[in-house]
Amino acid sequence: MRIGVLLATAALAASASACSVKGGGADADSSGYPAKPVEFTAPQEPGGSTDLLTRALTKNLEKPLGAKAVVVNKPGANGKIAGKDVFSGKPDGYRVAVMPQSLFAVGPLMIDDPDAIKVEDMTLVKGLAVEDYVLVVPGGSPHRTLKDLLGAGDLKYGTTGAGTGSQLSQTLLFGLAKVKAAPVPFDGGAPTVTAVLGRKVDVAAVHVAEAYKQVQAGKLRALAVFSDRRHVALPDVPTAKESGYPVLVDQRRFVAAPPGLPADVRDKLAAAIDKAAASPEYLQLLKTSHIVPWNAGGEQVAAQLNESRQRFTTMARDLGIDLKAQP
């Protein structure tokens, strides 16, 4: 009995660890790809939105790919830990990572890191999803429109952290509107929403999924989205651009592999991801999470990363905002 309990515990622990598959082994002949399981590294803890997204994708990937697809979680430093690990490996297509745009287009503008991953340090495989930011104020706030809010001046705005799109979008918006505003960074979306609900800050930008329920309940009021067009879940909320402030900031996720991945391997993988991303289960997950699919090829992903980084830099420079000085 007592040994049984101990063994059961040990077995449970062992099975938890057994879900990792190391992608070593040289497979020079890419025509045989994939000959073994493909490992997807999610740069987030299990249960987070990126993790769920990756799991829904890999689940539907096995059939079109013709191989097992395994999810490995390597959270930390907004994806840098996972990226550093995967992109230093062999470009054989057996280890890929799901990466966030902010690591390449937002963070570097705000935080000095000589060791940062660059766009050239990876082979871009496929775009996955776009998550939009929405600007919210408390439900009972006197500010009914973006114009109201910007007219108020001397704002305290909540952000979901340093180097996030939440911070960047608001810094640019308030800079453009020449409103005196002080950022108060929180640790992720949930505490930021709580701070707005409790009126600890005047306003905050968060992902649509993080605010949606409270907006529906009337506890938060959405004033603007920072996307090119209105969000499907919030059709009545104007874009910042519509209101005269062309601030376009979103969070995107894409699949990337080590640099030098053979083109045929990349295409095979991209085609399989395409099929998986069209599966009802995956689309349903995106829908319930208020995330929009991003059907982009590798070149488009690279263009997007470079373009947004360039745009943010130019905008900040034109506005005379030193993003690095922004906390």
Partner 1 sequence: MDLLSPVIAGFGVVFQPENLLYCLLGVTLGMLVGVLPGLGPAATIAVLLPITYNIEPTASIIMLAGIFYGAQYGGTITSVLLRLPGEASTVVTALDGHELARQGRAGSALGISAIGSFVGGTVAIVALTLVAPLVAGFALDFGPSEYTALALLGILLITTLGTGSPLKSLLMATVGLLLATVGQDPLDGVARLTLGTDRLLDGIDFVIVAMGLFGVAEILHNLESLRRPGTPMTSVGSVYPTRRDLTESKGAIARGSVLGFLLGILPGGGATMSSMAAYALEKKVAKRPERFGKGAVQGVAGPETANNAAATSSFIPLLTLGIPANATMAVMFGALLVQGITPGPTLVDEKPDLFWGVVNSMYVGNLLLLAMSMPLIGLFVRVLRVRPTILAPLTILITMIGVYTVRLSAFDMFLMVGLGVLGYLMKKVGFEPGPLVLAFVLGGLLESSFRRSMRIFGGDVTGFLTQPITAVLLAAIVLILVTPLILRLARRGTAA
Site residues (CB under 8 A) for partner 1?
A: 1-3, 5-6, 9-10, 12-14, 16-17, 20, 45-48, 51, 72-77, 80-81, 84, 107, 110-111, 115, 156, 161-163, 182-188, 190-191, 193-195, 197-198, 200-201, 213, 327
Q: Which is nearer to partner 1, 28 or 217 (CB)?
A: 217
Q: Which is nearer to partner 1, 149 or 272 (CB)?
A: 149
CA 265 to chain centre: 25
Minimum distance, C-beta of residue 240 to partner 1, in the bound complex (Å): 23
Minimum distance, C-beta of residue 155 to partner 1, in the bound complex (Å): 11
Minimum distance, C-beta of residue 41 to partner 1, in the bound complex (Å): 9
Minimum distance, C-beta of residue 5 to partner 1, in the bound complex (Å): 7
Q: Which is nearer to partner 1, 47 or 218 (CB)?
A: 47
Residue ranges of E strands in the chain: 38-42, 69-73, 95-100, 123-138, 155-159, 181-185, 203-207, 220-225, 250-257, 292-293
Q: Which is nearer to partner 1, 12 or 26 (CB)?
A: 12
Q: Which residues pair with 293 in a beta bridge?
A: 129
- The whole-angstrom separation of Cα 228 and Cα 76 is 30
Assign residue 155 a region (left: φ > 0; alpha: ψ between -120 and 50; beta: otherwise).
Answer: beta
Minimum distance, C-beta of residue 84 to partner 1, in the bound complex (Å): 6
SS3 48: coil
Q: Which is nearer to partner 1, 100 or 163 (CB)?
A: 163
CA 260 to chain centre: 24
| Alpha-carbon dihedral 52, 53, 59, 62, rounded to 10 degrees | -150
